[in-house]
Amino acid sequence: MATFIYGKVKRKHNIFRVIETEEEVYSTSQLNLVGVDYNPNTLIENEELYKVSQFSQSGFSFDFINNDLNSVNHDQITRNDLTKLSFICTVQNNLYFFQIINSSFFISKKWFSIDELRIETEKPIITVNPFADAIYDKNSDILYFKKLPAAQKIFKGMDQLYKEATALETDSFLQNDFLEVDTNFSNRNVSVPNRKRIALVMETLNNLSDTEKQTVYSYTSQYSQVEFQNGKFKIETDEDLKFVLWGIEQRFYTTPIGGEKRIANSIISI
């Protein structure tokens, strides 16, 4: 079955047909598409993937993968537009391999082929990565990726999966009754990682009953290095805030052997 490579050109809405070939661009026989549901609290290993299920319904998808694909509905890309690609998509069967294109993928140097020993000039090439930035399985309607910043360059809006609290949201969080914030500490002192944690924690707190909240605060006070008096955590630094946010995320635990207190760097629900 033919393999097609399509390309998205900057500042153009259409996706163009680039190449049709009978060769496999990606080796699907060695491809193991097993992903972990995306969660910013989960850190994956090098060989692992994140996934977003029912991707066509996520709001981040677009017509190219939502509709039935027919190459005749896509115009052939022009030579001039090849230098303006923002990403390419290799389609093999029902797998869509997306690769971001930037200047590092364009090679325009003198070179010679091992098969044909002659110098070539004025023949720039575009390199294809051995592993794509994102893979969409149309059969299962699942998008797989390793890094969210790369995936969201292709699928706009995916950064909302890991949004950062606004200044207003940060201020609102710092005004919570369980926090006693130093007068010299404001939203301007809150780091980007903590703003992202606040965005997650606000949702967590909204889903907890008052009793559950008190349980979480008590649990946090047992582990965190932040002073806790009269039901309030004293926040003087961004580090203090980080420990409280970790506690609300229930990242602290004690080892069953040795009783060592630890912080979970990554969380996967089981």
Using one digit for the tens of pLDDT, what is the confidence trace for 16-60?
A: 999 998 888 998 877 888 888 888 778 888 888 999 999 999 889
User: Which structure tokens are listed for 157?
Assistant: 């809006």
User: Which structure tokens are listed for 240?
Assistant: 């203090």
Predicted TM-score (pTM) of the model is 0.74
Average confidence score pLDDT of the chain: 88
When mean pLDDT is compared across 52-61, 195-204, 261-270, the lowest value belongs to 261-270
Is residue 41 a contact partner of residue 267, using CB atoms and an 8 Å limit? yes
